[in-house]
Chain A
Amino acid sequence: GAVVSQHPSWVICKSGTSVKIECRSLDFQATTMFWYRQFPKQSLMLMATSNEGSKATYEQGVEKDKFLINHASLTLSTLTVTSAHPEDSSFYICSASPGKLNYGYTFGSGTRLTVV
């Protein structure tokens, strides 16, 4: 089945530094990937749509200069949290569709970011 790999699983960084999270589709090509953020005991909030070869589209209220997205190939999207602050601590998770909607969108395993 379709697999999306996400790394790292968890990361602790100091306030003011930047963190890069990778999302890879392992057995299918994904021209579009999606980045979500999830706070404890809350649902997934869509942050942005990552488009291969073009600029990402961000949801309302998401700072594009803070959350940099790069989708340089058909199998890799990266999310960089720049100048991280403690309030950016969250569970970040990516997803992609292998093409057939009745199989659903596949999610990566998520990245737990803690900013200290």
Chain B
Amino acid sequence: GQNIDQPTEMTATEGAIVQINCTYQTSGFNGLFWYQQHAGEAPTFLSYNVLDGLEEKGRFSSFLSRSKGYSYLLLKELQMKDSASYLCATLRDDKLIFGTGTRLQVFP
């Protein structure tokens, strides 16, 4: 496989901050995406990183370190509706390859 690893499950409290990590093989890397997916629905695009550093977009931020093969998605001011799966994906040869996905449960 592509060895894109994420924690399987995470839990957090409403209003808190959570960081979801993703590690991947660096060979052939052309960019990293984060998607949110609610059960039974299509994934929705959250962020795209191709250069090192932090990209901030509202309550969500994504970080990339190409040399370390590492990314994280940071969710601030968690809301109940943020309970979903978060999928890390790398772009290789124009194909989007997904990691194992992290199921996040937000509790009140």
Footprint of B on A, CB under 8 Å?
A: 32, 34, 36, 41-46, 49, 91, 93, 95, 97, 101-110, 112
State how many angstroms separate the Cβ of B35 from the closest Cβ of chain A.
Answer: 7
Question: Known contacts A93-B42, A109-B41, A110-B41; is A104 also within 8 Å of B94 by CB?
Answer: no
State how many angstroms separate the Cβ of B5 from the closest Cβ of chain A.
Answer: 11
CB-CB nearest in chain A for B33: A104
Residue contact B95 to A49, C-beta cutoff 8 Å: yes
Complex interface residues of chain B between 36 and 51 (CB less than 8 A to chain A): 40-46, 48, 50
Residues of B near A46 (CB, < 8 A) are: 95-98
Residue contact A108 to B42, C-beta cutoff 8 Å: yes
Question: Known contacts A46-B97, A101-B31, A104-B35; is A110 also within 8 Å of B48 by CB?
Answer: no
Question: Known contacts A102-B48, A107-B42, A110-B41; is A34 also within 8 Å of B95 by CB?
Answer: yes
State how many angstroms separate the Cβ of A6 from the closest Cβ of chain B.
Answer: 8
In angstroms, Cα B44 to Cα A69, docked, is: 24
Footprint of A on B, CB under 8 Å?
A: 31, 33, 35, 40-46, 48, 50, 85, 87, 91, 94-101, 103
In angstroms, Cα B37 to Cα A42, docked, is: 11
State how many angstroms separate the Cβ of A47 from the closest Cβ of chain B.
Answer: 11
In angstroms, Cα B52 to Cα A58, docked, is: 32
Residue contact A44 to B43, C-beta cutoff 8 Å: yes
Residues of A near B45 (CB, < 8 A) are: 103-106
Residue contact B99 to A104, C-beta cutoff 8 Å: no
Residue contact A43 to B48, C-beta cutoff 8 Å: no
State how many angstroms separate the Cβ of A93 from the closest Cβ of chain B.
Answer: 6
CB-CB nearest in chain B for A106: B45
Residue contact B96 to A105, C-beta cutoff 8 Å: yes
Partner of A107, one of B43, B50, B91: B43
